[in-house]
Amino acid sequence: MKLMYLCLFIAGFSGMMLELIGTRVIAPFYGTTLFTWAALITITLVFLSIGYFVGGIIAKQEQRKKAFYSSVLLLGLWIALIPIIKNTVLASTNFFGGAIGPIISSLILFALPMLLIGMLLPIAVREKTKVLKEVGEKAGRLYALTTIGSFAGTITTAFVLIPLVNVSTSLFALALILILVSLIYFVKAKKMLVFPVLILFLILFFNVPSATDESVLFSQQSMQGQIKVIEQNDYRCLLIDGAIQSCLEKETQKSKLPYNDFIKLGFFSKPEMDTALLIGLGAGETVNELNKLGLVVEAVEINPAVVKTAKDYFGFEGIAYIEDGRRFIKNTDKKYDYIVLDAFKGHSAAPHLLTMESFLETKKTLNENGLIAVHINVLADEDDEARAIFKTLTKVFKNVFALREEGEFVSVVVLATDSEFFDDVVLKSIGEFINYETEKERYKNIWLKQRFIPVKGNIITDDYNPLELWQLKESMHWRENLFALLGEEIILGENQ
């Protein structure tokens, strides 16, 4: 009978592990957004509830013990199937968009295991209860055991499995444990299921897809998402949760992404600046570009794995503090001339950094007449986010100026300061800092012709922050472009 206790502990462990690791299954396609978390929590709660209901019905049947261990066995087999079908499921749900797509994906991948986990507890309560007066005591003990398993699953997944082990290995290990534990019952009951089930598990294990493309140099799960380094043609790029964060020419180490030019133009507007702070490191190319202009640059990056990747694969040698950007700004005693907010979590900008309260805190970290630059990506005809950030910054700074890339899906950098922007200062700085005439003309054209002046926008606050909703269409467009450019295998596959 102790075997049933063990199964309940593992079931509790499994529930929390699937809920947490589910974000790592879905994030490379949909990002680690509010909608991803909401989808997983919704499916978990709904199908655990259905499982409790179904389990209560099964608990009245004479074959409830067999049903209990059959459910554990089926749970293990389905979990083993997830690494094999996840890429197909994610790609096929793209049609539903960034809000509904995660729900449909979660429904297909995680509804059945959550239902099976929910079924186990009421069956176990009935099986362990011999007389009516024991039901409260037995139910309390079994609930406690399941909750302890959930606690263990949460800690193990968050602090061990996600940072150190890839998703497929974690899921197969859990599946194998569930299958072996359930087979103990069937062996004792002399049910001839052992060899067929183990053979099926091995078939599933050796059919899991992986990204073997030579262009993928490095792949690792981290606390803040899946990190990949890919190399194609003359470029080396950093991806987080399937979204390109940085892309550098291998020979020159120059960025392929145009927003870095906008950030440099921010410096050209105030060439007397000496110090800079970058929130969101990426591959470190922005730090390098600003260093070349004579700035002393420090970076803040929440993910230590990103810093290590930048050092190992992109030659970053600067200073990087490991901390959330807003927390760092609140707590630091340092002041800077130039602060660049360039923090993304996969396909989406970090919304908590882009509120009026955050901008006010950032302003306190600026020297007098210092400058802030905010980088975001928008669709040219869906720029609610850019207009809102521009409008919000006008409530904090006296002068706000924005540059926008030309095209359908574009980078926008919004500059804000309490001093003035002067065209002649910028053009003079371009002449002093840029060597080649063609480059000088390019920077002049960007400053003079790619200005973005929104007519209206909402104020973003900590209390009202719909940025992730506005970013849905942008994220979908970004994903579609990346899938067309890089392919499903590179973005969704694992390389550990």
Q: What is the pLDDT of residues 182-200, one digit of tens each?
A: 888 888 876 656 667 667 6
What per-residue confidence (pLDDT) applies to 198?
A: 66
What per-residue confidence (pLDDT) applies to 496?
A: 42
Range with lowest mean pLDDT among 152-166, 180-194, 209-223, 478-492:
478-492
pLDDT greater than 60 at residue 212: no
pLDDT greater than 80 at residue 1: no
103-116 core/surface letters (b: 16 or more CB in 10 A; e: else): bbbbbbbbbbbbbb
What per-residue confidence (pLDDT) applies to 312?
A: 93
Residues 339-367 have a mean pLDDT of 90
Using a pLDDT cut of 70, give the percent of the chain over it. Answer: 89
What per-residue confidence (pLDDT) applies to 495?
A: 45
What per-residue confidence (pLDDT) applies to 162?
A: 85
Highest average pLDDT, of 57-61, 160-164, 203-207, 252-256, comes from 57-61
Alpha-carbon distance 481 to 484, whole Å? 5
What per-residue confidence (pLDDT) applies to 455?
A: 72
Residue 243 pLDDT class (50, 70, 90 cuts): confident
Alpha-carbon distance 62 to 338, whole Å? 72
pLDDT greater than 80 at residue 475: no
- Residues, the chain, total? 496
What per-residue confidence (pLDDT) applies to 435?
A: 86
- Give the residue, 480 or 81, on which the prediction is more confident: 81
- Give the residue, 276 or 453, on which the prediction is more confident: 276
Range with lowest mean pLDDT among 242-246, 321-325, 356-360, 487-491:
487-491
- Rounded to two decimals, the pTM is 0.81
Residues 472-480 have a mean pLDDT of 70
Residue 492 pLDDT class (50, 70, 90 cuts): low
pLDDT greater than 90 at residue 78: yes
- pLDDT tens digits, 24-52: 888 777 777 778 889 999 999 999 999 99
Residue 402 pLDDT class (50, 70, 90 cuts): very high
Range with lowest mean pLDDT among 16-25, 132-141, 351-360, 372-381:
132-141
What per-residue confidence (pLDDT) applies to 87?
A: 85
Residues 380-395 have a mean pLDDT of 87
What per-residue confidence (pLDDT) applies to 299?
A: 96
pLDDT greater than 70 at residue 238: yes
Residue 215 pLDDT class (50, 70, 90 cuts): confident
> What does pLDDT average to over the chain?
87
